[in-house]
Structure 1
Amino acid sequence: MSQGIGIVGCGSIGRALLRAGDTGQFGAPIAGVASRTAETALEFLQTLDSPPPYLELGELVGSSSLLIETAGGHVVPQLAVAAFGAGKDLMVISIGALLEHPEVIDWARATGCRLYAPSGAIAGLDGIKSACQGHVDRVEMVSRKPIAALEGAPYLIENEIPIDGLTEAREVFCGSARDACRGFPSNLNVSAAVSLAGIGPDRTTVCIVADPALARNCHDITVEGEFGLLQVHIENIPSENPKTGRLTAMSIIRSVRDVFDPVRIGT
């Protein structure tokens, strides 16, 4: 089997992975990239010292041992069918899609293919996973974000919640992680990761605050149970895409390295 890495999507995360691969940061080569915007992807590939080929999805699956989704949650079910059907592993960046399509998790277990869901812009998942081996009373997450990071969110549009022109912080959502991911699909993959690591998307509470004074995406996680109390605070500087923090790309790059590294540190 080929040990190449196939990247699906060439947005900010896809480009970060391609740059990392171009400098040899992974323990395997980049087999290729597929994207719905071929012209844009090909243009970016020419900026690399050793650009991998642009491939159609079927070719990419055949050339790779690990497929990485960076194209959005809408591609996850189709990509999972293609990857697992060919006996290939899959890394999903749009983790919220796993809440809408839990069958993807079932397919991975049924086929024996590995399904990876990186921590992304969040920290403390190892502690949450450990804590949830025992009784946990609550898992709560508060995300405070700049206005630009929340613009265009379906929940805000559907509920006619204006955030342009805000002069002070405003809570715009509070509910389950499942509903947070549905209403903010480009913003709250972190809450999906927290819920899957912990007590599930329906018992995990998420509140979202739009704050015009912020320049960073801030997350506060609180977990309380028989183990004690866990609190995590993250301030993530946005990347070229204001909806995606720099830590997200760094986490994914490290996750890919770990796939091919026989030494594993942490839970």
Structure 2
Amino acid sequence: MALASLKDSQKRYKHYFDKKAKQRDFRPGDKVLILLPTDGNKLLMHWQGPFNIEEKVRLNDYIINIRGKRRTYHANMLKKYFERETPTDPMTVGAVMTLDAAGTGIIDHDEEREEGQDDLLDLYSKKQQTETSKDVILGEELGNQQRRQLEELLRKFEGIFSDLPGNATGIEHSIELTTDEPVKSKPYGLPYRVRETLKADIEDMLKMGVIRPSTSPYASPTVIVKKPDGSNRICIDYV
């Protein structure tokens, strides 16, 4: 009796589950998102991608190319990725960007960093120099004369041994444009609470010499990317 009742319950549960269930079927070349654990917390899952499907190996298993490595995933961990059509009108591009940023020039970056993201992007957040040429560790196997020569070199090029970002003046690059007519985009809206922090960040970058006031007829809007630690990364949207 108990076994028969259990089988009836299983059939009933399966019937209700199958009402909303959908068959996921992908083809080679399709782009998909994969439900994977974050780097910081293996118990926390989020969608990553898109990645390309290379082949279907079983009824619900697919081989996916992830940064040059072939891995097999079940269909339950996959979700098809639909690419947004790229608008050709510059005004439309600006509107899409504003919509993506929830109507403002701010993008929240709550997700963990992707593998290979360059930590040098965060250097500018330092506002005071904490490292100098005196922090360079010299090899113990160096002789007295070699040590003196190296110390002299360190003093001569002392300016490059800093943990603050600088700029290089030994090279220039020209960008050829498709038209001589200047492109001037309107700035994105920013909440009042963010304007003061943006102003302070700009002043800090001016003091460090990594930016300078511009008199160019071209103008592109500023986008603030909120980093996981709560600080801002200031970007320019060259639409």
TM-score, normalised by the number of residues in structure 1: 0.22
Which of structures 1 and 2 has the bigger CA Rg? 2
**Structure number with higher helix proportion:** 1
TM-score, normalised by the number of residues in structure 2: 0.24
Whose RCO is larger (CA < 8 A, sep 6+)? 1
